[in-house]
Amino acid sequence: MPIIINIDVMLAKRKMQSKELAEILEITPANLSILKTGKAKGIRFESLEAICKALDCQPGDILEYREE
């Protein structure tokens, strides 16, 4: 898939654990894992906004396009 999810990178930069982000977003760690691994079929703008707010970043810090 040419869209890369960089949530782990931002978590490391913010010294935050996945569990903590999942609690802030009010989702299960399993659902966050699905998103982080790129197995999700899509993401709502509302969810993307919440992630950006929690990690104090821009959508481009989380989503990256790479040609296959």
CATH number of the domain to which 33 belongs: 1.10.260.40
Number of domains in the chain: 1
Please, what is the average pLDDT of the chain?
94
Q: Average of pLDDT values for 41-58?
A: 96
In this predicted structure, the answer to whether residue 1 has a pLDDT above a threshold of 80 is: no
State how far the Cα of 22 lies from the Cα of 17, in Å rounded to an integer.
9
Q: Is 33 domain-assigned? A: yes
CB 6 within 8 A of CB 64: yes
Q: Is 65 domain-assigned? A: no
**pLDDT tens profile 22-32:** 999 999 999 99
State how far the Cα of 39 lies from the Cα of 25, in Å rounded to an integer.
18
Residue 58, SS3 per DSSP: coil
State how far the Cα of 24 lies from the Cα of 50, in Å rounded to an integer.
9
Identify the domain containing residue 42 by its residue range: 3-58
- Residue 5, H or E segment: strand 3-5
If one compares 55 and 67, the residue with the highest pLDDT of the two is 55
